[in-house]
Amino acid sequence: MDARVEIRVRDDGPYKVTGPVRIVDPEGNELRPPDPDRPVVLCRCGQSRTKPFCDAAHKASGFSSCVRAARAAAGGQPQTGDREAAGERGDG
């Protein structure tokens, strides 16, 4: 059994969380995902009616973000991790 957790950033969409995780509110109460047999998807656009979980509201809201890991530039400084900041647009 692989006990590692992975959080994958989806282009123009939610965070997809795979692996054993517990999500708790500020008071320590566990939040149950809508479908416990599937990976957890967490809202990134702020429009979900089921926060912190994604309900696909990002599709209608026009949410746009295509995050990429920073790479070192020629001078050793990290570059931006979001393609929109550089004027690029991914089609997801």
Q: How far apart are CA 29 and CA 22, in angstroms?
A: 10
Cis preceding linkage at 52, omega within 30: yes
Which runs of consecutive H residues, i.e. helices, occur in 9-89?
57-61
Q: Mind listing the pLDDT tens digit for each residue in 15-27?
A: 999 999 999 999 9
Task: Provide the 3-class DSSP secondary structure of residue 23.
Answer: strand
Residue 79 has what pLDDT?
Answer: 57
Which whole number is the average pLDDT over 8-13? Answer: 97
* pLDDT over threshold 80, residue 38: yes
Q: How confident is the model at residue 71 (pLDDT cuts 50, 70, 90)?
A: confident
User: Which residue spans within the chain are E strands per DSSP?
Assistant: 6-9, 15-18, 23-24, 30-31, 40-42
